[in-house]
Every structure is written in C-alpha cells, then in structure tokens.
Amino acid sequence: MKKTIAGNNPAVQGRLRRIEGRHNALLKELRQAFSRGEPTEGGYYAIEGLHILEEAIRSGVQFRAVFFSSSAAAKAERLLPQIGAHVGTVMLPEKLFASAVPSETPQGVAALARWKEFSLDDLLAPTQVGPLLAVAGVQDPGNLGTILRSAEAFGAAGAILGEGTVSPFNPKVVRASAGSVFRLPTVRAKLSPAIARMRRQGLRLIATSSHKGTPLPEARLARSSVIFIGSEGSGLSRELFSQMDELVAIPHSAKVESLNAGVAASIVLYELARQNR
C-alpha cells in the first residue's frame, strides 16, 4: 500500500510516498544492504543517520532512495530540499523502519547510496601526492572508521584495505568515519602483491609496533610513505613485518600494553603531517 504524504511544507508535500508493506522492493534492498554490509546488485550501499546523510549530500554521493520514519518529518523537511527531485523518497511506519535499520537507536533517516570507487592503480599512480595507509586485518568497524577519518583529516592520499579487514561499506564503518569514507580514496586489495608495486613507486614502508622500533618523534616520516596498521589482536603478520623499511613505536606508559589500531594510526598520521608541514 502506498500513499502520498501531504504536508504543510512545500518542500515535503508531494515528495514522500508512504510504504506500509515489508515486502516492498526498495525496502527489501535497503534491508539486504544493511545486513550484508556490501553493495546491492545495482552497486548501492546502506547508510543511516542525519549527519551521515548530510555528509553524503555534501560529498556529491549518488542516491537511489532516501527513507524516513514517520517520526522524522522534521528531518525530511531539512533534507528534502538538498536531495535531487529524481531520487525516490519514502516514509515508513516506525516498526517497519526499525526492522530495516540495524542501529539500536535509529535516527529515522536512511538511504541507498553510491559513491566513487577507486582502484589500486589510482592509489599507486606516480602522480599521487601524500602518504598512503595499508590496513591489515582490522576487524572492528569503529577502528576502521576512525582510521579513515584521521586519514582524511591529516592529508593521506588514500587507504588500501588488506585481507581480513572489515568492509569500508559496513554501516558502522561509515558512521565512525563521519563521512570521510565518501571522499577518501579507498580500495580493497591483497597487500603482499601490492608491496612490490609500492617499491617500484619508491614508497617507504613503515609499520607501527607497540614495543620496539624507532621512537615516533625520531622517525623519518616522508610524504612518500605507506603506513601499515595491523590487526587489533596480533598486529602485522611476520611476512609483512619482514618487508618493512622501518618500524616505529609510539612512546606510552608501560602500564598500557598497547594502543588500539584507530588511536595508533591517528597518532602516526598526525606526526607525519606535522613533520611535512
């Protein structure tokens, strides 16, 4: 059953269709995209939250459809003028919206969206300027989102996500990145084969370590560097460690065994940016 929502605000009136059936094709696509954390057949990803939608609009993201819960009329009035008239916009009853969106406290706004994709060739092009990140096995979505956010904040040229790393399209990664995932060039690739290409480009390979290596303030962090960040539990594999040009250690209290991946990456990226101002 579909109804047009009439409203007092001309920006809303006539734009929203009400969907009340859980088997609606658009709603099923949204539910599947959220549950899989991967693109739909049409190449769209699920995102949610007012701030994330606004960041997506600001970043020029392409929308297939935008969904509002029935309690989010004010948010619809705020967002609809910024969304192209060709984009499908629908309103869902509260329970139906909550059944599709995995967040424990949904904000009443979600969308199917698509943003620019990049290749390893793009990130390793000779004309590429700025350091790169190589993420090896980071599985926590919050950590990866933090890493991508810090990468954009401190001028990284992009991120290469290796095997075992959580998908950058996971809704929790998107939310933790605060929109950086829409703009930072990010690719998924096997890291070992990529290292040979990095060396051909003259890039310097640097890994972080909790207990050994050059103290971070003394390390030489050139812009033509690739910073390798290992998994939360075991760090980088021995195979990857053996191929690094330098290990750097972040000085911290001996009472703390190690820093988590998101914090460590952020500190190293800040220091790299500071050295190259």
Neighbouring-strand partners of residue 152? none
* Largest CA-CA distance found in the chain, in angstroms, rounded: 65
Show the domain range for 133. Answer: 120-275
Last residue of a domain, one of 93, 114, 135: 114
CA of 98: how far to CAs of 21, 101, 110, 257, in Å? 13, 5, 11, 40
Q: Which of 116, 194, 195, 185 is nearest to 151 (CA)?
A: 185
Q: Is 110 exposed, middle or buried (0-12, 13-18, 19+ CB in 10 A)?
A: buried
**Tally: H helices and E strands in the chain:** 10, 13
* Domain closes at, from 114, 129, 158: 114
Residue 62 shares a structural domain with residue 94: yes
Q: Do 257 and 134 lie in a common domain?
A: yes
Q: Are residues 31 and 53 in the same domain?
A: yes
Same domain as 213, residue 152: yes
Last residue within a domain, chosen from 52, 86, 114: 114
Provide the residue type at 202 as one letter.
G
pTM: 0.89
CATH number, domain containing residue 259: 3.40.1280.10
C-alpha closest to that of 115 among 60, 171, 40: 60
Whether residues 137 and 61 fall in one domain: no
pLDDT 10s digit of each residue in the chain, 277 long? 444 444 456 556 567 888 888 888 999 999 999 988 888 888 999 999 999 999 999 999 999 999 999 999 899 999 999 998 889 999 999 999 999 998 878 889 999 999 999 999 999 988 777 899 999 999 999 999 999 999 999 999 999 999 999 999 998 999 999 999 999 999 999 999 999 999 999 999 999 877 788 999 899 898 899 999 998 777 888 899 899 999 999 888 888 877 889 999 999 999 999 998 8
CATH number of domain containing 8: 3.30.1330.30
CA–CA separation, 237 vs 156, rounded Å?
A: 23
Number of domains in the chain: 2
Among 112, 131, 115, residue whose Cα is nearest residue 181: 115
Q: Are residues 265 and 141 in the same domain?
A: yes
